[in-house]
């Protein structure tokens, strides 16, 4: 079993978060709480599977289109979310953002509009812009730390803007919302009424607080009368984005064929990296217990930060429903976020994501990555609190 308590150096692994922190924060050797990967090693069982494959040394072209791969995905959804779909709906893709880009091109035309809840995962901005589509932001409303959808305002926006695609991120990065079945039903109903295709990015589906129930969009498939795709990957849950690989679940046969034609014919990226194939199957077939343990660790980290922010700074902090990302509202503090970043980077030597990375709604926030051993989280929090106190 992975030791979730042990801090092990990730330096020298070409890690974006550790080795290249200077690219984003301008300084080397900062303690990083930045992009969303974790400081934990992958499950031991999966490591063994990969080690055996490496020692055999065969790395020829590999195939993902077989029941071993596709059933590992359908079984995971069935067990974790009581959601069933046909094995044939599953298609390998190099990354979630690659799939998003291709489905944007398939489901909309140049200059058409795509709506998403903001703040949002920053790669959405670029992906939409580089496809020459127009982003229409719909701000989630914050009510005492809880983020909500104002459906009346949303319908008014859809009726005026007439977008082609709704890009849903559920659970939501960076707010950590797990949208309820009721919210999803309302959203689907609007998409049906205004003929808006639905792309649901569910990469954060497995890391949730106890009692939070994730509803995959395809669980509500019977109610959806527009094109719909679900995008996901084991990469966030099991901390293996460096292996590559993700998948799309696509109910419509013609849309699947169109995606495959691009994956294979146009882009030539349909051969799954062998280690990604093995890791996906092992994680989904054998590592459920690991996810339970991970979630307990993340829960403890959230409780720690909530306690420290309240006791040290009298700062209320609402633990999010999902993700290992803390979205901290510093709107009431007597300094700007620019000044705070200077203090954190230059004096405290800590790198924490600025909230405005995720859109203008994030202007007064920090996004702190809690996917790390408690000792590192504690050290990072101490530096954050010291930095804030120094400015008060």
Ligand X SMILES: Cc1ncc(COP(=O)(O)O)c(C=O)c1O
Instruction: Say whether residue 36 binds ligand X (CB under 6 A).
Output: yes
Our CB check for ligand X shows the closer of 197 and 340 to be 197
Helix axes 288-313, 374-391, angle to 10 degrees: 20
Our CB check for ligand X shows the closer of 201 and 348 to be 201
Residues in the chain: 392
At 269, list the tokens. 């990226």
At 286, list the tokens. 């054998």
Half-sphere exposure of 145 (CA within 13 A, CB side): 13
Provide, rounded to whole angstroms, the least separation between the CB of residue 374 and ligand X: 22
**Selected binder of ligand X within 96, 115, 196, 350 (CB under 6 A):** 96
Provide, rounded to whole angstroms, the least separation between the CB of residue 29 and ligand X: 24
**Selected binder of ligand X within 34, 101, 246, 301 (CB under 6 A):** 246
Footprint of ligand X on residues 250-269 (CB under 6 A)?
Answer: none
Number of residues in contact with ligand X under rule CB under 6 A: 13
Which positions from 224 to 243 touch ligand X by CB under 6 A, shown as an x/- string? ---------x-x-----x--
The answer for residues whose C-beta is within 8 angstroms of residue 23's C-beta and 6 or more apart is: none
**Which region among 65-73, 89-97, 151-159, 217-225 touches ligand X (by CB under 6 A)?**
89-97
At 373, list the tokens. 């051993």
Instruction: Say whether residue 95 binds ligand X (CB under 6 A).
Output: yes
Tell which residue, 76, 105, 39, has the closest CA to residue 232: 76
Which positions from 187 to 226 touch ligand X by CB under 6 A, shown as an x/- string? --------------x-x-----------------------
Long-range contacts of range 106-109, CB-CB < 8 Å, 24 or more positions apart? 106/255, 106/258, 106/259, 106/262, 107/164, 107/165, 107/197, 107/199, 107/227, 107/255, 108/133, 108/164, 108/165, 108/197, 109/164
Our CB check for ligand X shows the closer of 2 and 170 to be 170
Footprint of ligand X on residues 111-150 (CB under 6 A)?
Answer: 121
Our CB check for ligand X shows the closer of 46 and 170 to be 170
Our CB check for ligand X shows the closer of 233 and 343 to be 233
**Which region among 71-79, 90-98, 125-133, 252-260 touches ligand X (by CB under 6 A)?**
90-98
Q: Within 10 Å of residue 291's Cβ, how many Cβ atoms?
A: 19
Cα 95 from Cα 248, distance rounded (Å): 9
Which residue ranges make up the site for ligand X (CB under 6 A)? Answer: 36, 95-97, 121, 169, 173, 201, 203, 233, 235, 241, 246
């Amino acid at each position: 079993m992975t030791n979730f308590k042990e801090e092990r150096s990730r330096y020298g692994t070409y890690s974006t978060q550790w080795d290249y922190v200077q690219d984003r924060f301008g300084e080397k050797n900062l303690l990083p709480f930045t992009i969303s990967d974790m400081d934990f090693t992958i499950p031991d069982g999966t490591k063994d599977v990969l080690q055996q494959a490496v020692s055999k040394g065969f790395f020829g072209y590999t195939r993902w289109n077989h029941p071993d791969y596709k059933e590992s995905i359908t079984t995971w959804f069935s067990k974790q979310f009581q959601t069933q779909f046909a094995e044939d709906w599953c298609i390998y893709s190099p990354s979630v953002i690659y799939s998003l880009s291709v489905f944007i091109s398939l489901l909309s035309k140049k200059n058409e509009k795509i709506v998403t809840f903001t703040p949002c995962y920053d790669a959405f901005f670029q992906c939409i812009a580089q496809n020459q589509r127009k982003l229409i932001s719909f701000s989630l409303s914050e009510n005492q730390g809880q983020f909500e959808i104002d459906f009346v305002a949303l319908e008014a926006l859809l009726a005026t803007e007439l977008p082609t695609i709704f890009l849903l991120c559920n659970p939501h990065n960076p707010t950590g919302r797990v949208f309820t079945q009721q919210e999803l039903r309302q959203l689907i109903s609007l998409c049906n009424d205004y003929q808006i295709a639905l792309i649901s990015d569910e990469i954060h589906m497995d890391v949730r607080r106890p009692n939070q129930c994730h509803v995959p969009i395809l669980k509500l498939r019977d109610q959806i009368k527009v094109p719909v795709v679900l995008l996901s990957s084991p990469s966030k849950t099991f901390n293996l984005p460096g292996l590559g690989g993700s998948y799309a679940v696509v109910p419509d046969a013609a849309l699947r064929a169109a995606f495959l034609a691009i994956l294979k014919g146009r882009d030539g990226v349909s051969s799954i990296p062998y280690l990604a194939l093995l890791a996906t199957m092992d994680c989904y077939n054998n590592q459920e217990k690991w996810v339970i343990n991970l979630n307990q660790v993340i829960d403890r980290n959230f409780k720690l930060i909530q306690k420290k922010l309240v006791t040290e700074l009298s700062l209320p902090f609402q633990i999010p429903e999902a993700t290992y990302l803390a979205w901290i509202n510093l709107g009431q503090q007597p300094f700007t976020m620019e000044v705070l970043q200077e203090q954190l980077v230059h004096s405290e030597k800590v790198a924490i994501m600025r909230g405005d990375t995720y859109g203008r709604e994030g202007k007064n926030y920090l996004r702190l990555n809690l996917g790390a051993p408690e000792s590192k989280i504690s050290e990072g929090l101490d530096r954050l609190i010291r930095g804030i106190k120094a400015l008060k």
